[in-house]
Chain A
């Protein structure tokens, strides 16, 4: 049962074919069997999750069905507050923190009847792409435990891929939902900027942070997204009778038709540095879409080469502002690599921070313009296959890049611009020097304000790929 999608499990729960308590118990058993190796969880709510699942079963048996997440075991990145639980951010800096109330996201999931099974490991303070630098030890990729699951929501990616829960909530400041989704072979959605509440979430960058779902299918991402989109009403009383979502009566996300779908493949900066196997797999995917009737064009965006410079000035400056006092008083409680990167932000000048905002605005205008000519932009999510734990650089042949820069390269542009973006699994590629294929991600970028439409496009592409 732990390999079911949310949609499949919801159908069986609603029909009374399975019980939430059994599904939840199986997820807990999977965690017990695999998490010593993968280290995906920082906290597991075993007894409490089973009690919540029993409550869900009782409600459903009494005819009080809350919707598609009712009785579904899910997890949250341990950056997001759940009442009564620590929010560690994978850091010793927050060792004694306990959340006094639910974040709006956790509250929305609870109102929808989801069973929160635990809190997932991450790169410390979400400030990294590998999920290695964590006070709770590195997270490992379920496909190859010698490799990273990506990050910073690496525990969420590993947990969903390994069947420890049916969906998870991650955060994405430069790609931290989409990167682990690609590395773990699952779906990861970064909604448009500001769509989902970041209240009760430890910030990395107020300008760039997003919350979003990590799941096994596009429909599942939609099911979680539409529940979390209702999170602004976090203070409302829970009610089994309230329909938690305007269209909850319909559990079907209607896909777009691929025939005639206009997709723009991003070139230039976006195609310069790709591992050969990733490039091959992405090109196979676009050819498959073309053969199915999609209309593909190839575009280049001005200023794209300035993405990393704009990104680093925003994220470093804002992260340093949040961490300033603890850097002064508890520097040694951070992992060394994260403490040093945070310290860099204290040297950013205001004039350069403003320039970075101007760079983001210019790029946003170019992406908006590109999306007037097509329904979506497409590109790989991650330019490399999941790296080995401990790797610090990537050799692209033409040049060697720091690993962090390489991993962020294709996702961070859309944090700067605020456009919704999603990563889908699109088969595997064999890493250099290895023999076993590992997951590759296919990224789709939609119009601002068009997350639902992006999901419809993604579902159509998912069915083809």
Chain B
């Protein structure tokens, strides 16, 4: 299910339940979900690198 489809269904369900004030919360949740789906944890070594260390706080 794409995020757009999910959000449309969620909005409609919230409306049906009489909870229109869920709409902005669901939109914020959709942003978090999008960030999670874009992350590729299985390729973390290639994409993100490891922990970076520096002795200088301004690095």
Contacts and interface: CB of A to CB of B under 8 A. Distances in A.
Interface string A259-271: 0000011010000
Contacts, number: 95
Interface in A305-331: 305-306, 308-310, 312-313, 316
A56 interface: no
Contact of B19 (A283, A340, A361, A373): A340
B56 to A, nearest CB: 7
Contacts of A98: none
Nearest to B31: A309
Contact of B1 (A308, A349, A366): A349
B41 A361 contact: yes
A298 B54 contact: yes
A303 B39 contact: yes
Contacts of B42: 358
Contact of B22 (A313, A340, A356): A340
B8 to A, nearest CB: 12
Contact of B37 (A296, A301, A355, A361): A355
Contact of A349 (B6, B51, B59): B6
A344 to B, nearest CB: 5
A174 interface: no
B39 A299 contact: no
Interface string B40-55: 0110100011111111
Q: Interface range on chain B: under 10, 10 to 19, 20 to 34, or 35 or more?
A: 20 to 34
B48 A303 contact: yes
Contacts of B26: 344, 347
A304 to B, nearest CB: 10
A309 B32 CA distance: 5
Given A340-B25, A347-B29, A352-B33, A302 B51 contact: yes
Contacts of A101: none
Contact of B50 (A297, A341, A356, A369): A369
A266 to B, nearest CB: 10
A26 interface: no
Contacts of B44: 302-303, 362
Contacts of A373: 51, 53
A297 B51 contact: no
Contact of A300 (B22, B35, B52): B52
Given A340-B21, A341-B25, A343-B19, A297 B36 contact: no
A366 B50 contact: yes
A356 B57 contact: no
B50 A358 contact: no
Contacts of B33: 309, 313, 349, 352
Interface string A84-126: 0000000000000000000000000000000000000000000
Contacts of A267: 57, 59
Interface string A384-424: 00000000000000000010000000000000000000000
B47 to A, nearest CB: 8
B29 A303 contact: no
A370 interface: yes
A359 interface: yes
B53 A297 contact: yes
A369 B51 contact: yes
Interface of A: 264-265, 267, 283, 296-303, 305-306, 308-310, 312-313, 316, 340-341, 343-344, 347-349, 352, 355-356, 358-359, 361-362, 366, 369-370, 373, 402
8 contacts: A299-B52, A302-B50, A306-B36, A313-B32, A343-B14, A347-B29, A359-B41, A373-B53
Given A355-B39, A402-B28, 9 more contacts: A264-B53, A297-B53, A309-B33, A309-B36, A310-B36, A343-B14, A348-B29, A355-B36, A358-B41
Those 3 A-B pairs whose CB atoms lie nearest each other, nearest first:
A302-B48, A309-B32, A309-B35
